[in-house]
Amino acid sequence: MMEQNRDVWILIAAYNEGSVIGEVVRELRGQFSNVAVVDDGSSDRTGDIALEAGAHVIRHPINLGQGAAIQTGLTYGLARGADYLVTFDADGQHRIEDVKSMFEVVKKFDLDVACGSRFLGSTEAMPTSRRIMLKLAILFTRFTTGVKVTDAHNGLRVFSARGAKQISITQNRMAHASEIIEQIAARKLTMQEVPVTIKYTAYSLQKGQKITNSLSIIMDLLGGRMHK
Amino acid sequence: MIIQLILTILALVVICLGLVHLGRATILANALILSGGFGIYCVWNPSSTTAVAHALGVGRGTDLLIYLWVVVSTALVLLLYIQLRRQMILITNLARHIAIQEARRPATNRTEVEP
């Protein structure tokens, strides 16, 4: 398994995830030899813990946001000669089995990118308010990009190197999820959604997006439109 | 009469600021000098703005200035926003460059072949 996955880089953006990052990295390292954690200027020991657990650690000198950290991960993975790049959340809500099934889809259909969709798959313990907010985000993304996504804000994605090279995230904060879909549409990348399971835990819910953030995401996207 | 003197002094300060910046930030300097000069003219000829306002279909010169002020300040906010976003992208690229140069690799991976 280790040898099979040498061309794959798992990229994790992490900001103050010291309590969970070690476990997430160790679990991934059991299956993948290349795991990189982008420590987004954490004030806790996220970077050190991830390094001890066996990940490459790239540390932003200042906190820039999840979008910036994901782009740093993609840039790093490509520079290390990755053939496939996986974005994975730090809080342990994604499952490694899903990475494998998405990976198979990308390889089989020679795709640029596969995106995880929790609405095609199953979800464990998703609160109603979260469900409504995500559905609204999906409508917004479909309306602004014309891409018929079923899940706009899923952090689990598998890129081929060809696909990753065509993505350049300028939305440093949470609007990057929509920006990625926009670029997939604008650059006509081949994309497929793959059902995944999200494990909602008390920890991931506490770290997750609040409804009030939706407005600032929309403002960021409008700002991005004004200036390219 | 006193208010006209106070406003004139303020406008002269703006013009002086513009003169100081002349040669370094030309657009800003010109904008300061012009708006200072325009301000002094308006202060001493209040009827002139009213005449322009009437020609445009606005009741009072003061109202016309308020409308103009709103337009100009909105444009400035947008310009500043774009400038800030541009700077953020530069800072991000700089931070990313430093981060990748100083990347730490796990001890177990030392045997890996350099790309």
Check whether residue B6 and residue B40 sit in a common domain: yes
Domain total of chain A: 1
Q: Measured between beta carbons, which residues in chain B are less than 8 angstroms from residue A2?
A: none
**B40 and B68: one domain?**
no
Decide if B54 is inside a domain: no
Most confident of A127-136, B86-95, B100-109: B86-95
Do the bridges between strand A35-39 and strand A8-14 make them parallel or antiparallel, or are there none, so unpaired? parallel
Q: pLDDT tens across B91-115, in order?
A: 999 999 999 999 999 986 444 444 4
- State the residue range of the domain holding A210: 8-226
In a domain, B4, yes or no: yes
Q: Which residue of B has its CA nearest to A68?
A: B92
Q: Is residue A2 part of a domain?
A: no
Helices (H), A53-155: 66-79, 96-109, 128-145
Listed ranges A70-74, A114-118, A216-220, B106-110; the one with the highest mean pLDDT: A70-74
- B52 inside domain: no
Nearest to A58 among B78, B103, B115 (CB): B103
Q: What is the CATH number of the domain that holds A147?
A: 3.90.550.10
Phi and psi at residue A199, in whole multiples of 5°?
A: -95, 105
Distance from CA of B106 to the nearest CA of A (A): 5
- For residue B103, which residues of chain A lie inside 8 Å, CB to CB? 36, 56-58, 76
pLDDT of A60 reads 97
Facing B115 at nearest CB: one of A58, A60, A80: A80
Q: Is the pLDDT of residue A14 over 80?
A: yes
Our CA-based measurement puts residue A220 at a distance from the nearest CA of chain B, in whole angstroms, of 10
| Residues A139-189: tens digit of each pLDDT | 887 777 777 788 877 889 999 999 999 999 998 888 888 899 989 999 999
Tally of structural domains, chain B: 2
| Residue B55 domain-assigned (yes or no) | no
Domain range for B10? 1-44
Task: Classify residue B97: in a domain, yes or no.
Answer: yes
pLDDT of residue A228: 52
Residues 68-97 of A with CB under 8 A from B: 68, 71-72, 75-76, 79-81
Q: What is the pLDDT of residue A209?
A: 61
CA dihedral in degrees (A151, A30, A105, A83; nearest 10)? 100
pLDDT recorded at residue A208: 60
Half-sphere exposure of B26 (CA within 13 A, CB side): 1
Residues A186-227: tens digit of each pLDDT: 999 999 889 888 877 777 666 666 666 777 777 788 777 766
CB A22 within 8 A of CB A49: yes
Instruction: Assess B9–A contact: CB distance below 8 Å, yes or no.
Output: no
| CA A154/CA A180 separation, integer angstroms | 11
* Whether the Cβ atoms of residue A40 and residue A63 lie closer than 8 Å to each other: yes
Q: What is the dihedral of CA A107, A14, A28, A151, to 10 degrees?
A: -40
Kindly give the residue spans of alpha helices, DSSP state H, lying in A80-186.
96-109, 128-145, 161-165, 176-186
Could you read off the pLDDT of B48-75 as tens digits, one per residue?
A: 888 888 888 888 888 888 999 999 999 9
> Which of the residue ranges A2-11, A49-58, A89-98, B35-44 would you say has the lowest mean pLDDT?
A2-11
Whether A157 contacts A87, CB under 8 Å: yes
Mean pLDDT computed over B77-87: 91
In a domain, B73, yes or no: yes
Q: With a cut of 90, say whether residue A123 has pLDDT above it.
A: no
* Residue B6: inside a domain: yes
Q: Is the ipTM of this complex over 0.85?
A: no
Same domain, B5 and B38: yes
Quick one: pLDDT at residue B108? 61
Task: Please tell me the predicted confidence (pLDDT) of residue A25.
Answer: 96
pLDDT of residue B34: 92
Distance from CA of B94 to the nearest CA of A (A): 10
Contact B106 A59 (CB under 8 A): no
| Residues B92, A59: C-beta atoms closer than 8 Å | no
**pLDDT-based confidence at A2, cuts 50/70/90?**
very low
